[in-house]
Amino acid sequence: MRTQVAIIGAGPAGLLLGALLGKAGIGNVIVERSSAAHVLSRIRAGVLEQGTVDLLRSVGCATRLDAEGLIHEGIDLAFDDSLHRVDLKQHAGGRVVTVYGQTEVTRDLMDARSASGHSTIYEAADVTLHGIDASPYVAFRSDRVDVRLDCDFIAGCDGFHGVSRQSLPAAALRVFERVYPFGWLGLMADLPPVNDELIYARHSRGFALCSMRSPARSRYYVQVDASEHAEDWSDDQFWDELRRRLPEATAARVTTGPSIEKSVAALRSFVAEPMRFGQLFLCGDAAHIVPPTGAKGLNLAASDVHYLFDALREFYEEKSAAGLDAYSTRALARVWKAERFSWWMTSILHRFPDQGEFGERLQLSELDYLTHSEAAMSALAENYVGLPF
């Protein structure tokens, strides 16, 4: 087989890149090692920046998003037994975020892909990348047949555990990493959310987050030790722990009931540099991970895809490699700002094993300052709604 761009991974990054390339008439094939059903079973965050929404609109994948997405103009920070609202719209020049699950984004992109006729190979076994410094190709097995896919470029959109980053010579990469000594236990339930905006709560027992997927579906998280397993938590234990970490008046309003999913996610900050090696370009989680505080993961993948698409279009339409050469530097400048923001939000809201009483007072002082200073609220808001691409 031959195509112009071989895309590794059919998550939101790979599908969005495929949609943009397809619309521009640039040939592409997506190779995914899992099944479509498995890709859709992964529950991720649900807050989209305006830039991400605009990209989805530009490829005609926003009909359901526009109908069902929830516009959020603010968030609440909870500490000292009360809620403190940060008006995002007011502090970010009118910009807002849209609450719409990553799973739904993936489903919409998948449906558009099937309708477009571009090929996606699911359940590709033993995917390997070759010739990335000159004439690249992807080898894999599909339905027990060996396939060789020759291409001009490979886009590695296959996540943190994918083969793309691992195909680079170790000496070519510089890795920056911080692993946090805790995780998030998440619970999804078909119950009305406690609040009509997200609540990020700092409590001496640990962080909690009240989020949602729709007016009838809640998503909640509590910080837990990194060694905890979701199976060891009953729904009742979860609800009790969540309510303990919320202001009393908010806790009293939580509607509890049976969960439809519970899982623990580890928290990590990670960046691999550069994001390009030869003809291979890394996008999204393949190159970087942020802790979920601030919901930047999917949005960062979308901005990487935007930069890479721009560069590829310039290459094919204008015969210029300038955009491709600038890709890594351009993408990393935005990646590091989101790394900083996600690390900062994590650091002011979580309980750290070694923080001590001094650390606790600093967190409270930072939150007090944040919710009373126009400058600090603007800094939070402009990052939360998303820095420009």
Residues catalogued as catalytic: 72, 200, 292, 296, 384
Question: CB within 8 A of 88, min separation 6: which ones?
Answer: 72, 73, 74, 75, 95, 96, 97, 381, 384, 385
**Could you say whether residue 69 binds ligand PHB (CB under 6 A)?**
no
Residue 286 to residue 159: CA distance in whole angstroms: 4
**Could you say whether residue 47 binds ligand PHB (CB under 6 A)?**
yes
* Number of helices (H), then strands (E), in the chain: 13, 20
Residue 138 to residue 148: CA distance in whole angstroms: 6
Among 11, 18, 46, 156, binds ligand PHB (CB under 6 A): 46
Length of the chain equals: 389
Which one, 284 or 292, has the nearer CB to ligand PHB? 292
Which one, 46 or 323, has the nearer CB to ligand PHB? 46
Which one, 1 or 379, has the nearer CB to ligand PHB? 379
Q: Rounded to the nearest whole angstrom, what is the least distance from the CB of residue 9 to ligand PHB in the complex?
A: 21
Stretch that binds ligand PHB, among 20-28, 163-171, 286-294, 298-306 (CB under 6 A): 286-294
Cα angle 210, 214, 219 (rounded to 5 degrees) comes to 30
Among 118, 219, 288, 351, binds ligand PHB (CB under 6 A): 219
DSSP structure class, residue 33: S
Q: Rounded to the nearest whole angstrom, what is the least distance from the CB of residue 218 to ligand PHB in the complex?
A: 9
Number of chain positions touching ligand PHB (CB under 6 A): 11
Which one, 293 or 303, has the nearer CB to ligand PHB? 293
Name the pairing type of β-strands 174-189 and 217-225: antiparallel
The residues pairing with 223 across neighbouring beta strands, listed in sequence order, are 184
**Could you say whether residue 88 binds ligand PHB (CB under 6 A)?**
no
**Could you say whether residue 211 binds ligand PHB (CB under 6 A)?**
yes
Which one, 138 or 335, has the nearer CB to ligand PHB? 335
Among 18, 292, 323, 386, binds ligand PHB (CB under 6 A): 292
Name the pairing type of β-strands 5-8 and 120-121: unpaired
**Sign of dihedral through CA atoms 149, 150, 152, 153?**
positive
Secondary structure (3-state) at 164: helix
Among 7, 20, 21, 45, binds ligand PHB (CB under 6 A): 45
CB 48 within 8 A of CB 36: no
C-alpha to C-alpha distances, 245 to 73, 238, 324, 376, nearest whole angstrom:
24, 11, 47, 24
Stretch that binds ligand PHB, among 20-28, 60-68, 289-297, 327-335 (CB under 6 A): 289-297
Stretch that binds ligand PHB, among 156-164, 242-250, 262-270, 292-300 (CB under 6 A): 292-300
Which one, 33 or 288, has the nearer CB to ligand PHB? 288
**Could you say whether residue 295 binds ligand PHB (CB under 6 A)?**
yes
Binding site for ligand PHB (CB under 6 A): 45-47, 198, 209, 211, 219, 292-295
